[in-house]
């Protein structure tokens, strides 16, 4: 018997609370090793890298790490580190490279790590989900999160679990261990969001009048907006783009029509400015969905500080893409023309 469309993706989205709990337990168990490794390294800069989803994850992780630690961090697609190292790495200084990959098998990520190690620019830590894959043996420290493994091609549970792991590790490296206990509230908050907003996600996903989607976010939320926009493309083959909130006025707003859905990943720090962008686009005819801690359509009310709660933007956004895919008669488990891993012919 064949599975119904979205059989695996539905389970992977729904099981995120348990996957996040496993991830947090694992990071807590390894926090001593993570701290010792980072302290001994005395790094000048931290680079985060990956491909596709895990590149977007790297963008969010670099921003969170720098915000928490006040130390410089950058994110690059693995292909840039591999093929354009001079334009990516600074001329001098010791680097911690954090390579992130669900599969641990993506060619560009493996090449980026290999060339980084050969150039002796610093140390490598890897985050992945499968213990027997090459990436999980390449770093001086390798964190494997089996809770993030997936059958589906588009990442949902893997992305959020790996992002949460990178955030917990960043808190340890930043000397913000005080953040770790509060992360324990996230699995429950995720479950509440999935339960409370399943219907709203379905309504938006099934609205076939919509023909374009824009995901807006700033700071770490920009990387998350990129990921949610990618979900919309991969799963539902819809026109979708991410922007920084304030950038949206600088050109992209010319695309706004009555068939536009804007999803705003509101920050608390800049809530009024973010909100003004959404209000302006609504006045132009766009439909608007605001996600955030307070005064939002998708309301977190988590009580957590900003850096700790960013992962909460993901579940409802993933559900919208999932529902739109189903409503278009597609199978979210099998995005068009995509493979789970990009392996280059050597
Ligand atoms: C990265 C990735 C996926 C994407 C696609 C191709 O994989 O870009 O995010 O969905 O299927 O590969 P990984 O290195 O994180 O395994």
Distances (CA, A) of 3 to 8, 92, 155: 9, 53, 19
pLDDT class of 2 with cuts at 50, 70, 90: confident
Looking up tokens 């026109």 gives 239
Give distance in angstroms: CA of 103 to centre of ligand 1.
7
Q: Check: CATH 3.40.50.10490 for 185-327?
A: yes
Distance between Cα 271 and ligand 1 center (Å): 32
CA of 101 to the centre of ligand 1 (A): 7
Q: Using an 8 Å Cβ cutoff, are 138 and 101 in contact?
A: no
d(CA 239, CA 255) in angstroms, rounded, equals 11
Measured CA to CA, the distance from residue 59 to residue 44 in angstroms comes to 18
Q: For the chain, what is the mean pLDDT?
A: 97
Complete edge-to-edge strand list for the sheet that includes strand 212-216: 239-243, 212-216, 260-265, 287-292, 298-299
Q: What's the average model confidence in pLDDT over 66-76?
A: 97
Q: Is the pLDDT of residue 187 over 80?
A: yes
Check the CA dihedral 314-318-321-327 and report its sign. negative
Taking CA atoms only, the protein residue closest to ligand 1 atom 6 is: 341
pLDDT-derived band at 339, boundaries 50, 70, 90: confident
Residue 133 Cα to ligand 1 midpoint, Å, equals 14
d(CA 331, CA 326): 6
Q: What's the average model confidence in pLDDT over 206-221?
A: 98
**pLDDT given at position 272:** 97
Strands (E), the chain: 45-50, 73-77, 95-101, 122-128, 141-144, 212-216, 239-243, 260-265, 287-292, 298-299
Q: Which one, of 161, 189, 173, 182, lies nearest residue 23 by Cα?
A: 161
**pLDDT above 90 (res 122):** yes
Beta carbons within 8 Å of 299's beta carbon, 6+ residues apart? 292, 293
Q: Are 303 and 183 in contact (CB under 8 A)?
A: no
Question: Is residue 313 exposed (0-12), middle (13-18) or buried (19+ Cβ within 10 Å)?
Answer: buried
Q: Which atom of ligand 1 is nearest to the CA of 155?
A: 10
pLDDT score recorded for residue 346: 74
- CATH 3.40.50.10490 residue window(s) in the chain: 7-179, 185-327
Instruction: Kindly state the tokens that stand for 33.
Output: 């090793």
Q: Residue 239: pLDDT band by 50, 70, 90 thresholds? A: very high
Residue of minimum CA distance from atom 12 in ligand 1: 341
Q: Measure the CA–CA gap between 324 and 257, rounded to whole angstroms.
A: 19
Radius of gyration (C-alpha) of the chain in whole angstroms: 19
In whole angstroms, what is the distance from residue 213 CA to residue 328 CA? 15
For residues 211-225, give the mean pLDDT: 98
Q: Across-strand partners of 292?
A: 299
Question: What CA–CA distances, in Å, run from 47 to 44, 77, 284, 308?
Answer: 10, 10, 40, 20
Ligand 1, pocket residues at CB < 6 Å: 50-54, 101-103, 106, 109, 153-155, 338-342
* Alpha helices (H) along 97-207: 107-118, 157-173, 179-183, 186-196, 198-206
- pLDDT tens for each residue of 303-320: 999 999 999 999 999 999
Please enumerate in sequence order all residues whose Cβ is within 8 A of that of 219, keeping only pairs 6 or more positions apart, or say none: 63, 67, 267, 269
142-169: pLDDT as tens digits: 999 999 999 999 999 999 999 999 999 9
Q: Residue 115: which of 140, 138, 92 has the closest Cα?
A: 138
Query: Rounded to the nearest 10 degrees, how much is the dihedral formed by the CA atoms of 274, 277, 283, 285?
Result: -100
List C-alpha distances in Å: 111 to 88, 115, 153, 221. 15, 6, 22, 28
pLDDT of 296 > 90? The answer is yes
Q: What is the CATH number of domain 7-179?
A: 3.40.50.10490
| pLDDT above 80 (res 1) | no
- Ligand 1 pocket test: pick from 61, 101, 102 the residue with the most ligand atoms within 8 Å of its Cβ: 102
Which residue lies with its CA nearest to atom 5 of ligand 1? Answer: 340
Do residues 176 and 65 lie in contact, with contact meaning Cβ atoms separated by under 8 Å?
no
Mean pLDDT throughout 250-272? 97
* Mean pLDDT in residue range 9-32: 97
Which long-range contacts does 26-35 make (Cβ < 8 Å, 24+ apart)?
26/143, 26/145, 26/147, 26/165, 27/143, 27/165, 27/168, 27/169, 27/172, 27/180, 28/168, 28/180, 30/143, 31/168, 31/172, 31/177, 31/180, 33/141, 34/141, 34/169, 34/172, 34/173, 35/172, 35/173
């Amino acid at each position: 018997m064949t599975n119904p469309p979205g059989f695996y993706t539905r389970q992977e989205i729904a099981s995120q609370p348990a996957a996040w709990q496993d991830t947090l337990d694992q990071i807590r168990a390894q926090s001593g090793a993570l701290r010792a490794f980072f302290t001994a390294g005395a790094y000048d800069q931290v680079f985060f890298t990956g491909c596709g989803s895990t590149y977007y994850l790297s963008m969010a992780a670099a921003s969170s790490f720098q915000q928490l630690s006040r130390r410089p961090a950058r994110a690059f697609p693995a292909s840039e580190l591999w093929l354009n190292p001079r334009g990516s790495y600074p001329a001098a200084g010791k680097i911690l490279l954090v390579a992130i990959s669900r599969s641990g098998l993506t060619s560009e990520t493996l090449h980026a790590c290999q060339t980084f190690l050969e150039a002796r620019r610093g140390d490598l830590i890897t985050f992945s989900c499968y213990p027997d894959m090459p990436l999980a043996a390449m770093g001086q420290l390798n964190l494997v999160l089996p809770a993030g493994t997936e059958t589906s091609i588009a990442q949902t549970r893997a992305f959020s679990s790996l992002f949460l792991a990178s955030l917990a590790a960043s808190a340890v490296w930043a000397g913000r261990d005080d953040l770790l206990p509060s992360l324990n509230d996230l699995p429950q908050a995720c479950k509440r969001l999935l339960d409370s907003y399943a219907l709203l996600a379905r309504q938006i996903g099934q609205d076939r009048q919509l023909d374009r989607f824009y995901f807006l976010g700033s700071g770490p939320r920009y990387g998350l907006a990129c990921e949610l926009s990618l979900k919309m493309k991969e799963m539902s083959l819809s026109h979708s783009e991410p922007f920084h909130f304030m950038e949206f006025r600088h050109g992209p707003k010319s695309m706004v029509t009555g068939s536009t859905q804007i999803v705003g990943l509101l920050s608390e720090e800049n809530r009024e400015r973010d909100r003004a962008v959404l209000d302006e686009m609504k006045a132009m005819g766009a439909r608007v969905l605001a996600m955030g801690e307070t005064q939002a359509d998708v309301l977190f009310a988590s009580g957590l500080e900003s850096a700790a709660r960013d992962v909460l933007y993901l579940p409802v956004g993933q559900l919208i893409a999932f529902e739109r895919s189903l409503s278009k008669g597609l199978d979210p488990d099998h995005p068009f023309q995509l493979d789970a891993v990009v392996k280059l012919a050597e």
